[in-house]
Amino acid sequence: MVDLTVVIVSWNVCALLRQCLSSIAGSLAAGSSRSAINAQIVVVDNGSTDGSVEMVLAEFPSVQLIINAENHGFPAANNQGIRVARGRHVLLLNPDTEVVGDALSALVAYADAHPDVGMVGPQLLNADRSVQSSRRRFPTKATAFFESTWLQPYAPRRVLARYEMLDQPDDVVQEVDWLYGAAFLARREAIEQVGPMDEGYFMYSEELDWCRRFHEACWRVAYVPAAQIVHHGGKSSEQVVTARHIHFQTSKVRYFRKYHGRLFASVLRWFLLGTYAWQLGLEGAKWLLGHKRSLRAERIAAYRRVLRSGLQSKEPAMANPR
């Protein structure tokens, strides 16, 4: 019986993927004989063109590799990995991460000791080993209008502080609403009950949606800081900044349509489009004044693309995808 399947969805981050896979090998070796686990490693390559596939084949022959000709999106690719998983638990792990010490054994041990926990998340660290925020409460309607918009600096402190769980210590095991998607372990039994990730999201909010469905199925979600994983953050998405804006906000609208209704989602979508139109106007004015014109032109092009997208999903939100 395989204890753990690690699924890594990768797109054009060859060097970081190599580092991630090496850290997994180190973590598996770090486990004591009492806590040692056996693992299956699956890499789903989402259409990389930087030699990632060749690197995995040459340097990590034991890794199971799924090769997509194009980028299918993060949830869809994770679901491909989940379908071939043989482990009692499945760890979804970003390629821009490094596993610290025996974190993998620690996550499995916690899940095994708490059979009512369907999902377990580690403590994420920045490259300098400072703690990275990775725990969240479910977003409220107020959160939707402030998070990741130009209004965020003006948000009432209680809105985002509550959402980001800033009232809770970083070094204590605790139950949470949802976990940041860079790294979390899901129990196979829970996945079979809840179903796979909603592939209507291309990227962003898919882990929020999944955690919410875990809660609705009466599975607990836990944060375990004894397990630590370094997350370098956004190394794939930063290659396509405009698309990142579009996917983040489109996914946000999809989530709120799914759980708060079409009327609220429509109001939110038009509000978000309005913020981008406002920023477009500001950048245009600065361009006319001759202030850093190349930067302004780049932002103007990005905001125009966001507005043209309409922040609309390609398919309607499903209540409970299977």
With contact defined as beta carbons under 8 Å apart, do 118 and 158 qualify? no
209 shares a domain with 117? yes
Instruction: Residue 87: give its domain's CATH number.
Output: 3.90.550.10
Between CA 209 and CA 221, with CA 215 as vertex, the angle to 5 degrees is: 95
Answer yes or no: is pLDDT of 15 > 50.
yes
pLDDT of residue 314: 60
Query: Does some domain include residue 320?
Result: no
In 27-170, beta strands by DSSP E: 39-46, 64-68, 87-93, 97-99, 117-125, 135-136
Decide which of 236, 255, 278 is a domain's last residue: 236
pLDDT of residue 319: 40
Tokens for 160, please give them.
């985002």
Quick: pLDDT tens for 280-289: 999 899 989 8
Task: Tell me the residue range of the domain where 259 lies.
Answer: 240-309
Between CA 250 and CA 260, with CA 255 as vertex, the angle to 5 degrees is: 125
Alpha helices (H) in 119-230, listed in sequence order: 141-146, 157-163, 188-194, 206-216
Q: What percent of the chain has pLDDT over 90?
A: 73
Answer yes or no: is pLDDT of 183 > 60.
yes
147 shares a domain with 209? yes
141 shares a domain with 275? no
Nearest to 130 by CA among 223, 222, 230, 227: 230
257 shares a domain with 208? no
Query: Does some domain include residue 59?
Result: yes
154 shares a domain with 121? yes
Highest mean pLDDT among 23-27, 202-206, 220-224, 302-306: 220-224
292 shares a domain with 156? no
pLDDT of residue 203: 86
Query: Does some domain include residue 43?
Result: yes
Query: Does some domain include residue 89?
Result: yes
Nearest to 24 by CA among 89, 78, 88, 104: 104
Quick: pLDDT tens for 49-100: 999 999 999 999 999 999 999 988 999 999 999 999 999 999 999 999 999 9
Query: Does some domain include residue 194?
Result: yes
Give the number of domains in the chain. Answer: 2
Query: Does some domain include residue 41?
Result: yes
pLDDT of residue 79: 97
Decide which of 236, 255, 280 is a domain's last residue: 236
What is the average per-residue pLDDT within 186-196? 97
Nearest to 208 by CA among 161, 153, 143: 143
Mean pLDDT of the chain: 91
pLDDT of residue 245: 83
Q: What are phi and psi of 8, to 5 degrees?
A: -120, 120
Decide which of 217, 236, 255 is a domain's last residue: 236
pLDDT of residue 318: 41
195 shares a domain with 305? no
Query: What is 259-320 written as a DSSP string?
Result: HH-HHHHHHHHHHHHHHHHHHHHHHHHHHHTTSSHHHHHHHHHHHHHHHHHTT--SSPPPSS
At residue 34 the predicted structure's pLDDT band, cuts being 50, 70 and 90, is low
296 shares a domain with 167? no
Tokens for 19, please give them.
């580092």
19 shares a domain with 120? yes
Q: Determine how β-strand 178-179 pairs with β-strand 64-68.
A: unpaired
Answer yes or no: is pLDDT of 33 > 60.
no
With contact defined as beta carbons under 8 Å apart, do 136 and 180 qualify? yes
The neighbouring-strand residues paired with 45 are 10, 67
Q: Which residue has the higher pLDDT, 34 or 290?
A: 290
Tokens for 147, please give them.
């998070």
**Whole-angstrom distance, CA of residue 45 vs CA of residue 65:** 7
161 shares a domain with 87? yes
Query: What is 190-212 written as a DSSP string?
Result: HHHHH-S--TT-SSSSHHHHHHH
Quick: pLDDT tens for 97-124: 999 999 999 999 999 999 999 999 999 9
With contact defined as beta carbons under 8 Å apart, do 268 and 256 qualify? yes
6 shares a domain with 74? yes
Query: Does some domain include residue 318?
Result: no
With contact defined as beta carbons under 8 Å apart, do 48 and 12 qualify? yes
What is the Cα Rg of the chain in Å? 20
Query: Does some domain include residue 315?
Result: no
98 shares a domain with 196? yes
